[in-house]
Amino acid sequence: MNKTFLKNIWITILILPSLVILIAVVVYPFGYNFILSLSNISLTHIRDWKIIGFDQYIKVFTTVTQPNIYVIFFKTILWTITNLFFHVVIGVSLALVLNQKDIFGKAIFRTILILPWAVPQLIVALTWRGMFNYEYGVINAMLTQVMGLPPVEWLKGESTAFLSAIITNVWLGFPFMMIIALGALQSIPRDMYEAADIDGANWYHRFRYITVPLLKPVMIPAITLGTIWTFNNLNIVWLISNGGEPQDSTHILVSFVYKAAFNFYRYGYAAALSVIIFLILLLFSLSFMKKTRTAENVY
Protein backbone atom coordinates (compact mmCIF):
# COMPACT_ATOMS: atom_id res chain seq x y z
CA MET A 1 0.00 0.00 0.00
CA ASN A 2 2.76 2.39 0.99
CA LYS A 3 4.72 1.55 -2.12
CA THR A 4 1.90 2.05 -4.62
CA PHE A 5 1.00 5.27 -2.83
CA LEU A 6 4.56 6.56 -3.24
CA LYS A 7 4.59 5.51 -6.87
CA ASN A 8 1.34 7.33 -7.58
CA ILE A 9 2.68 10.49 -5.99
CA TRP A 10 5.81 10.19 -8.15
CA ILE A 11 3.75 9.82 -11.33
CA THR A 12 1.64 12.81 -10.33
CA ILE A 13 4.72 14.95 -9.76
CA LEU A 14 6.03 14.00 -13.19
CA ILE A 15 2.85 14.58 -15.11
CA LEU A 16 0.92 17.29 -13.26
CA PRO A 17 2.87 20.43 -14.29
CA SER A 18 2.65 19.56 -17.99
CA LEU A 19 -0.98 18.55 -17.64
CA VAL A 20 -1.97 21.82 -15.98
CA ILE A 21 -0.07 23.90 -18.53
CA LEU A 22 -1.40 21.95 -21.51
CA ILE A 23 -4.97 22.27 -20.27
CA ALA A 24 -4.53 25.99 -19.76
CA VAL A 25 -2.76 26.82 -23.00
CA VAL A 26 -3.92 24.11 -25.43
CA VAL A 27 -7.15 22.45 -24.35
CA TYR A 28 -8.86 25.58 -23.08
CA PRO A 29 -8.01 27.76 -26.12
CA PHE A 30 -9.06 24.87 -28.38
CA GLY A 31 -12.49 24.83 -26.74
CA TYR A 32 -12.61 28.61 -26.73
CA ASN A 33 -11.80 28.64 -30.47
CA PHE A 34 -14.71 26.28 -31.06
CA ILE A 35 -17.05 28.56 -29.14
CA LEU A 36 -15.78 31.58 -31.08
CA SER A 37 -16.50 29.73 -34.31
CA LEU A 38 -20.15 29.53 -33.26
CA SER A 39 -20.34 33.23 -32.45
CA ASN A 40 -20.56 36.56 -34.24
CA ILE A 41 -17.31 37.92 -32.78
CA SER A 42 -15.53 40.54 -34.88
CA LEU A 43 -13.72 43.83 -34.26
CA THR A 44 -17.02 45.63 -33.67
CA HIS A 45 -18.31 42.81 -31.46
CA ILE A 46 -15.19 41.97 -29.47
CA ARG A 47 -16.78 42.26 -26.04
CA ASP A 48 -20.52 41.88 -26.66
CA TRP A 49 -20.46 38.81 -28.89
CA LYS A 50 -23.05 36.07 -28.64
CA ILE A 51 -23.54 32.51 -29.87
CA ILE A 52 -25.29 32.43 -33.23
CA GLY A 53 -24.92 28.75 -34.21
CA PHE A 54 -23.30 27.37 -37.30
CA ASP A 55 -23.66 30.55 -39.40
CA GLN A 56 -19.89 31.06 -39.68
CA TYR A 57 -19.42 27.52 -41.02
CA ILE A 58 -22.14 28.07 -43.60
CA LYS A 59 -20.45 31.35 -44.51
CA VAL A 60 -17.16 29.55 -45.14
CA PHE A 61 -18.78 27.33 -47.74
CA THR A 62 -21.25 29.75 -49.31
CA THR A 63 -19.96 33.34 -49.15
CA VAL A 64 -18.13 34.43 -52.27
CA THR A 65 -14.71 35.43 -50.96
CA GLN A 66 -11.99 37.18 -52.88
CA PRO A 67 -10.25 34.90 -53.86
CA ASN A 68 -12.71 32.02 -53.93
CA ILE A 69 -12.31 29.63 -51.00
CA TYR A 70 -12.46 26.55 -53.24
CA VAL A 71 -9.63 27.92 -55.38
CA ILE A 72 -7.59 28.43 -52.22
CA PHE A 73 -8.37 24.91 -51.12
CA PHE A 74 -7.23 23.57 -54.47
CA LYS A 75 -4.05 25.64 -54.24
CA THR A 76 -3.37 24.30 -50.76
CA ILE A 77 -3.59 20.73 -52.04
CA LEU A 78 -1.34 21.59 -54.99
CA TRP A 79 1.11 23.32 -52.61
CA THR A 80 1.22 20.34 -50.25
CA ILE A 81 1.57 17.64 -52.90
CA THR A 82 4.21 19.46 -54.96
CA ASN A 83 6.29 20.25 -51.90
CA LEU A 84 6.06 16.78 -50.41
CA PHE A 85 6.87 15.16 -53.74
CA PHE A 86 10.10 17.13 -54.14
CA HIS A 87 11.02 16.85 -50.46
CA VAL A 88 10.79 13.07 -50.58
CA VAL A 89 12.34 12.56 -54.02
CA ILE A 90 15.30 14.88 -53.39
CA GLY A 91 15.71 13.81 -49.76
CA VAL A 92 15.64 10.08 -50.43
CA SER A 93 17.88 10.39 -53.53
CA LEU A 94 20.49 12.30 -51.55
CA ALA A 95 20.29 9.78 -48.74
CA LEU A 96 20.74 6.87 -51.15
CA VAL A 97 23.74 8.53 -52.80
CA LEU A 98 25.28 9.43 -49.43
CA ASN A 99 24.77 5.93 -48.09
CA GLN A 100 26.97 4.26 -50.75
CA LYS A 101 29.97 2.80 -48.97
CA ASP A 102 32.63 4.21 -51.33
CA ILE A 103 31.69 7.91 -51.07
CA PHE A 104 34.32 10.10 -49.41
CA GLY A 105 33.59 13.18 -47.34
CA LYS A 106 30.18 11.98 -46.17
CA ALA A 107 30.25 14.10 -43.02
CA ILE A 108 31.05 17.28 -44.96
CA PHE A 109 28.37 16.65 -47.57
CA ARG A 110 25.81 15.88 -44.89
CA THR A 111 26.68 19.00 -42.93
CA ILE A 112 26.29 21.28 -45.95
CA LEU A 113 23.09 19.56 -47.05
CA ILE A 114 21.48 20.18 -43.64
CA LEU A 115 21.99 23.96 -43.96
CA PRO A 116 18.56 24.80 -45.47
CA TRP A 117 16.92 23.22 -42.44
CA ALA A 118 19.14 25.11 -40.01
CA VAL A 119 18.46 28.58 -41.41
CA PRO A 120 15.49 30.22 -39.63
CA GLN A 121 12.39 30.28 -41.86
CA LEU A 122 11.97 34.04 -41.58
CA ILE A 123 15.46 34.58 -42.98
CA VAL A 124 14.90 31.91 -45.64
CA ALA A 125 11.75 33.66 -46.82
CA LEU A 126 13.15 37.20 -46.82
CA THR A 127 16.38 36.12 -48.51
CA TRP A 128 14.60 34.23 -51.27
CA ARG A 129 12.24 37.18 -51.65
CA GLY A 130 15.31 39.30 -52.30
CA MET A 131 16.69 36.69 -54.70
CA PHE A 132 13.42 36.72 -56.66
CA ASN A 133 13.50 40.51 -56.95
CA TYR A 134 12.95 41.61 -60.56
CA GLU A 135 15.73 44.17 -60.87
CA TYR A 136 18.37 43.16 -58.35
CA GLY A 137 17.57 39.53 -57.61
CA VAL A 138 20.22 36.90 -58.17
CA ILE A 139 17.82 34.56 -59.93
CA ASN A 140 17.05 37.01 -62.71
CA ALA A 141 20.73 37.91 -62.86
CA MET A 142 21.52 34.25 -63.48
CA LEU A 143 18.74 33.91 -66.05
CA THR A 144 19.92 36.90 -68.03
CA GLN A 145 23.71 36.80 -67.54
CA VAL A 146 24.38 33.07 -67.50
CA MET A 147 21.59 31.56 -69.56
CA GLY A 148 20.74 34.53 -71.74
CA LEU A 149 17.02 34.31 -70.97
CA PRO A 150 14.66 37.25 -70.41
CA PRO A 151 14.07 38.19 -66.72
CA VAL A 152 10.90 37.00 -64.99
CA GLU A 153 8.59 39.12 -62.79
CA TRP A 154 8.65 36.47 -60.07
CA LEU A 155 6.74 38.19 -57.29
CA LYS A 156 4.29 40.20 -59.39
CA GLY A 157 2.60 37.44 -61.36
CA GLU A 158 -0.13 35.23 -59.93
CA SER A 159 1.39 31.87 -60.86
CA THR A 160 5.06 32.89 -60.61
CA ALA A 161 4.58 34.22 -57.06
CA PHE A 162 3.08 30.90 -56.05
CA LEU A 163 5.90 29.09 -57.82
CA SER A 164 8.44 31.24 -55.93
CA ALA A 165 6.89 30.18 -52.64
CA ILE A 166 7.02 26.52 -53.71
CA ILE A 167 10.68 26.73 -54.79
CA THR A 168 11.58 28.33 -51.47
CA ASN A 169 9.72 25.71 -49.48
CA VAL A 170 11.21 22.81 -51.47
CA TRP A 171 14.63 24.23 -50.68
CA LEU A 172 14.09 24.37 -46.95
CA GLY A 173 12.26 21.05 -46.64
CA PHE A 174 14.37 18.38 -48.32
CA PRO A 175 17.03 18.05 -45.55
CA PHE A 176 14.43 16.76 -43.06
CA MET A 177 13.46 13.90 -45.38
CA MET A 178 17.12 13.25 -46.17
CA ILE A 179 18.02 12.91 -42.49
CA ILE A 180 15.10 10.60 -41.80
CA ALA A 181 15.89 8.43 -44.84
CA LEU A 182 19.58 8.35 -43.97
CA GLY A 183 18.79 7.15 -40.47
CA ALA A 184 16.63 4.37 -41.89
CA LEU A 185 19.18 3.34 -44.54
CA GLN A 186 21.97 3.11 -41.98
CA SER A 187 19.93 0.64 -39.99
CA ILE A 188 19.66 -1.77 -42.96
CA PRO A 189 22.34 -4.44 -42.44
CA ARG A 190 24.91 -4.60 -45.26
CA ASP A 191 24.85 -8.41 -45.37
CA MET A 192 21.28 -8.28 -46.63
CA TYR A 193 22.59 -6.71 -49.81
CA GLU A 194 25.49 -9.14 -49.95
CA ALA A 195 23.12 -12.07 -49.63
CA ALA A 196 21.04 -10.59 -52.47
CA ASP A 197 24.19 -10.26 -54.59
CA ILE A 198 24.98 -13.93 -54.09
CA ASP A 199 21.47 -14.76 -55.22
CA GLY A 200 22.16 -12.79 -58.41
CA ALA A 201 19.99 -9.75 -57.73
CA ASN A 202 20.68 -6.63 -59.80
CA TRP A 203 20.48 -3.08 -58.40
CA TYR A 204 16.81 -2.75 -59.23
CA HIS A 205 15.94 -5.94 -57.34
CA ARG A 206 17.98 -4.81 -54.35
CA PHE A 207 16.27 -1.42 -54.36
CA ARG A 208 12.80 -2.80 -54.91
CA TYR A 209 12.90 -5.73 -52.49
CA ILE A 210 15.29 -4.58 -49.74
CA THR A 211 15.61 -0.79 -49.66
CA VAL A 212 12.01 0.24 -50.33
CA PRO A 213 10.32 -2.15 -47.87
CA LEU A 214 12.74 -1.17 -45.10
CA LEU A 215 12.49 2.56 -45.80
CA LYS A 216 8.72 2.55 -45.91
CA PRO A 217 7.89 2.12 -42.20
CA VAL A 218 10.12 5.08 -41.34
CA MET A 219 9.13 7.29 -44.25
CA ILE A 220 5.34 6.94 -43.90
CA PRO A 221 5.14 8.66 -40.49
CA ALA A 222 7.66 11.26 -41.68
CA ILE A 223 5.55 11.94 -44.77
CA THR A 224 2.42 12.25 -42.64
CA LEU A 225 4.17 14.72 -40.37
CA GLY A 226 5.61 16.55 -43.40
CA THR A 227 2.18 16.80 -45.01
CA ILE A 228 0.71 18.36 -41.87
CA TRP A 229 3.59 20.80 -41.50
CA THR A 230 3.46 21.82 -45.17
CA PHE A 231 -0.33 22.16 -45.22
CA ASN A 232 -0.01 24.43 -42.17
CA ASN A 233 3.09 26.33 -43.24
CA LEU A 234 2.10 29.93 -42.80
CA ASN A 235 5.63 31.40 -42.71
CA ILE A 236 6.81 30.85 -46.24
CA VAL A 237 3.64 31.69 -48.17
CA TRP A 238 2.89 34.72 -46.01
CA LEU A 239 6.40 36.17 -46.10
CA ILE A 240 7.30 35.38 -49.72
CA SER A 241 4.04 36.87 -50.99
CA ASN A 242 4.09 39.65 -48.38
CA GLY A 243 0.61 38.71 -47.14
CA GLY A 244 -0.88 37.27 -50.33
CA GLU A 245 0.42 39.61 -53.06
CA PRO A 246 -0.33 40.15 -55.87
CA GLN A 247 -3.93 41.08 -55.01
CA ASP A 248 -4.47 38.25 -52.52
CA SER A 249 -3.90 35.63 -55.21
CA THR A 250 -1.07 33.84 -53.39
CA HIS A 251 -2.84 32.18 -50.49
CA ILE A 252 -3.11 28.77 -48.98
CA LEU A 253 -5.82 28.08 -46.41
CA VAL A 254 -3.75 29.00 -43.34
CA SER A 255 -2.52 32.31 -44.75
CA PHE A 256 -6.09 33.14 -45.76
CA VAL A 257 -7.29 32.48 -42.20
CA TYR A 258 -4.47 34.53 -40.74
CA LYS A 259 -5.42 37.44 -42.99
CA ALA A 260 -9.14 37.10 -42.16
CA ALA A 261 -8.33 37.14 -38.46
CA PHE A 262 -5.61 39.75 -38.13
CA ASN A 263 -6.06 42.04 -41.14
CA PHE A 264 -9.84 41.95 -41.51
CA TYR A 265 -10.72 41.16 -37.86
CA ARG A 266 -13.30 38.54 -38.88
CA TYR A 267 -12.63 36.49 -35.75
CA GLY A 268 -15.68 34.23 -35.86
CA TYR A 269 -15.16 33.36 -39.51
CA ALA A 270 -11.45 32.68 -38.95
CA ALA A 271 -12.22 30.46 -35.96
CA ALA A 272 -14.69 28.41 -38.03
CA LEU A 273 -12.22 28.02 -40.89
CA SER A 274 -9.50 26.95 -38.41
CA VAL A 275 -11.75 24.18 -37.16
CA ILE A 276 -12.43 23.06 -40.74
CA ILE A 277 -8.70 22.95 -41.58
CA PHE A 278 -8.08 20.94 -38.43
CA LEU A 279 -10.80 18.44 -39.36
CA ILE A 280 -9.37 18.05 -42.89
CA LEU A 281 -5.94 17.22 -41.46
CA LEU A 282 -7.36 14.90 -38.83
CA LEU A 283 -9.31 12.92 -41.43
CA PHE A 284 -6.31 12.81 -43.74
CA SER A 285 -3.95 11.53 -41.02
CA LEU A 286 -6.39 8.91 -39.79
CA SER A 287 -7.11 7.51 -43.23
CA PHE A 288 -3.50 7.71 -44.41
CA MET A 289 -2.22 5.93 -41.32
CA LYS A 290 -4.92 3.31 -41.53
CA LYS A 291 -4.32 2.65 -45.19
CA THR A 292 -0.61 2.16 -44.75
CA ARG A 293 -1.12 0.22 -41.54
CA THR A 294 1.75 1.92 -39.75
CA ALA A 295 -0.34 3.30 -36.94
CA GLU A 296 1.19 0.91 -34.44
CA ASN A 297 4.58 2.41 -35.23
CA VAL A 298 3.49 5.83 -34.20
CA TYR A 299 1.24 5.33 -31.19
Decide if residue 247 touches another protein (CB under 8 A).
no
- CB 235 to another protein: min, Å: 6
Within 181-220, which residues bind another protein (CB under 8 A)? 182-184, 186-187, 217-218
Decide if residue 122 touches another protein (CB under 8 A).
yes
Which of 56, 169, 235, 250 touches another protein by CB under 8 A? 235
- CB 136 to another protein: min, Å: 5
Considering CB under 8 A, how many residues would be counted as binding another protein? 101
Within 81-100, which residues bind another protein (CB under 8 A)? 90, 93-94, 97-98, 100
In this chain, which stretch among 58-66, 67-75, 80-88, 110-118 interacts with another protein, using CB under 8 A?
Answer: 110-118
Within 32-91, which residues bind another protein (CB under 8 A)? 32-33, 36, 41, 46-47, 90
Decide if residue 225 touches another protein (CB under 8 A).
yes
Closest CA to 214 of 189, 191, 179: 189
- CB 225 to another protein: min, Å: 7
In this chain, which stretch among 54-62, 66-74, 158-166, 171-179 interacts with another protein, using CB under 8 A?
Answer: 171-179
Nearer to another protein, 63 or 186 (CB): 186
> Residue 100: CB partners within 8 Å, gap ≥ 6?
none
Nearer to another protein, 25 or 51 (CB): 25
